Amino acid sequence: MNKIAKYLNQQLIGNVFDSAPILEGYSTDRSALKITPRMVVVPENVSDVRRTVRFISQLASKSVHIPITVRGSGLDKTGADLGSGLVLSTEHLNKILEIDDHARLVRVQAGVTLGQLNSALALYGLHVPILADPRETIGALISNFTTDSAAGKYNGIYYYVDCIEAVTSTGDTIQTGRFSRHLLSQKTRLTSFEGSLYRETDKLIDSNSDLISSLGARSTIDAAGYQMITQVVRENTRSFDLLPLFYAAQGTLGIITEAILHCEVYQPQVRHFVAAFESIGAALSYIESIAYLIPEELNLYDARIFKTAAEHGKDPALFAPKFNKGYMVWVAFNDKPRKTNKKLQKCLKLLPDNAAAVMETDDNTTDFQRLNSAIVSYLNDDVRGERVPFIDDFYVAPDHLSNFLTDLRTLEKAEKLELPIFGSFSTSNYNLRPDIQLNSVEGRQFIVKFMKEFNELLKEHGGSLTGGSPEGRIKATITNQELSDEEIELYDKIKTIFDPNQIFNPDIKLGATPNATVRHIRTGYNNGVTTI
């Protein structure tokens, strides 16, 4: 064991590992990258996190740099769970600390998974309505700020987090809160590192007010950089909160250790409706006609996804052959039973004569489950290559989608590759999973080449590569080149305020470079992690 790992093991209740088999397990996430860390720290409590960060910070002040990468469940799609230094896993910070069912509040550690949390809340008739992978941790949902498919109705994770506790780059802890100008003044007078965070951030916002206003006025949704600086000060009240900066920061500003979230009353019954259309125009026209019903999910799928799945035995028989071409619209309602039934009947009534549709009943629920299974089968199809999620969570506005898809077909022909999309119309966030052979030089080169081409296509239609999730290492190779000098300077200053010694994940977001990213592209399959 190396000296640093041995020293930390002596200081922590949790464990530090540097054996090759364990490091290998933490060398991949859901992305196309592989980076083997120098050591892995699994803290048992917040004190372990603080001791680790304080020690690494002290080393950095002596010009010994060991970057810290925070890892939840290892499901990041941008390579932000990976690092060559110290990977700090929150897997043991997984306690639900307090549930106040009357106030509909819950306090959890950052390593609690969404599935674990909602299972516990269900006993109180509550839930956090986020339709993300149930294996995702709460800390990761905040840090990665991925737009889930129910965000069109429930506004996403941003709406449900009241405050967080985070370990700063000095090893101290802060608890965020929305403060009035009077309370902010008290915070800025603190002589601690927390006081400097409030002082310097307040000054930065004041001196860059025009730039921050212009960022907030953009019509295109974009999670690159630290654009949530626009939400720190609320214009109507002038109140101040550091919490927004931690969204989409991907662990580069601090380590989230706890969060307080508020919840909704749980609606246990969800019913679905699926309709198929031969053209995108007909599908979009129908979607627009039912959007006012405010479904929990309103998703769009290229039907070629299910055709591919059927080739591997995952044929949702109820929907074939009606659903084997064109586009499929997936609708889910989770209102009270009577209201849900009325909405489903409205969906049927508004359906055009030439469209095919199936409504979920007690008799065909299994068939709807098979439809979901077919999607998973497509995403993990490995006959020709691997469907790596490097073009997930991009944004295309509803009024640009039809033309965008027409031009996407032109790109398909040029690349001689099928590019069926799937995603959420209600949030305007979509995904694309082309087959890639990562074990070939051509396949790895394709990732870089295709991202550039695809990004150009998105820009032509007012879209954004990082509309539904931040850039991490992979998308940063594109987004960093598109930031203005003023934006880069602003984001650099934010990073420096929170992390002056650059110990928190310095090689992602602004610190990511094309050469380093390409060098870390895997040459084989992931370590058994599915790509759903």
Say which DSSP state 512 is in.
-
* Residue 322: pLDDT band with limits 50, 70, 90: low
| Other Cβ atoms closer than 10 A to 418 | 14
Q: Could you tell me the CATH number of the domain that includes residue 299?
A: 3.30.70.3450
Same domain, 366 and 400: no
* Residue 365: pLDDT band with limits 50, 70, 90: confident
Which of 379, 411, 428 is the last residue before a domain boundary?
Answer: 379
pLDDT of 132 above 60: yes
For residue 310 the two structure tokens come to: 């059927």
Same domain, 373 and 410: no
Does the residue 188 lie in any domain? no
Does the residue 462 lie in any domain? yes
Same domain, 371 and 491: no
Closest by alpha carbon to 85, among 166, 5, 201?
Answer: 5
Does the residue 329 lie in any domain? yes
Same domain, 356 and 400: no
Same domain, 443 and 513: yes
CA 372/CA 370 separation, integer angstroms: 5
**Cβ 276 vs Cβ 303: under 8 Å:** yes
Same domain, 295 and 367: yes
Q: Is 58 left (phi over 0), alpha (psi -120 to 50) or beta?
A: alpha
- pLDDT for the residue 441: 82
Does the residue 293 lie in any domain? yes
Task: Show the domain range for 396.
Answer: 386-519
Does the residue 126 lie in any domain? no
CA 318/CA 358 separation, integer angstroms: 8
* Residue 369: pLDDT band with limits 50, 70, 90: confident
Say which DSSP state 278 is in.
S
Same domain, 312 and 370: yes
The per-residue pLDDT for range 413-428, each reduced to its tens digit, is: 998 888 999 999 999 9
The per-residue pLDDT for range 159-201, each reduced to its tens digit, is: 999 999 999 999 999 999 999 999 999 999 999 999 999 999 9
Strand partners, 259: 108, 164
* Residue 436: pLDDT band with limits 50, 70, 90: confident
pLDDT of 527 above 70: no
The per-residue pLDDT for range 73-118, each reduced to its tens digit, is: 999 999 999 999 999 999 999 999 999 999 999 999 999 999 999 9
Q: Judging by beta carbons within 10 Å of its beta carbon (0-12, 13-18, 19+), is residue 217 exposed, middle or buried?
A: exposed
The per-residue pLDDT for range 212-223, each reduced to its tens digit, is: 999 988 766 788
pLDDT of 66 above 80: yes
For residue 81 the two structure tokens come to: 């769970």
Closest by alpha carbon to 380, among 441, 372, 26, 367?
Answer: 372
**Cβ 160 vs Cβ 111: under 8 Å:** no
Does the residue 21 lie in any domain? no
Does the residue 129 lie in any domain? no
Same domain, 481 and 503: yes
Task: Count up the domains in the chain and report the number.
Answer: 2
CA 28/CA 526 separation, integer angstroms: 7
- pLDDT for the residue 53: 98
- pLDDT for the residue 269: 85
Which of 345, 379, 413 is the last residue before a domain boundary?
Answer: 379
| Other Cβ atoms closer than 10 A to 485 | 7
pLDDT of 384 above 70: no
| Other Cβ atoms closer than 10 A to 97 | 12
Q: CA–CA distance from 216 to each of 199, 219, 230 (Å)?
A: 22, 8, 6
For residue 182 the two structure tokens come to: 């009077």
**Cβ 435 vs Cβ 379: under 8 Å:** no
Same domain, 492 and 398: yes
- pLDDT for the residue 524: 72
pLDDT of 376 above 80: no
- pLDDT for the residue 315: 61
pTM over 0.85: yes
| Other Cβ atoms closer than 10 A to 444 | 18
Does the residue 117 lie in any domain? no
pLDDT of 377 above 90: no
Same domain, 324 and 398: no
Which of 379, 404, 439 is the last residue before a domain boundary?
Answer: 379
Same domain, 362 and 406: no
Same domain, 366 and 404: no
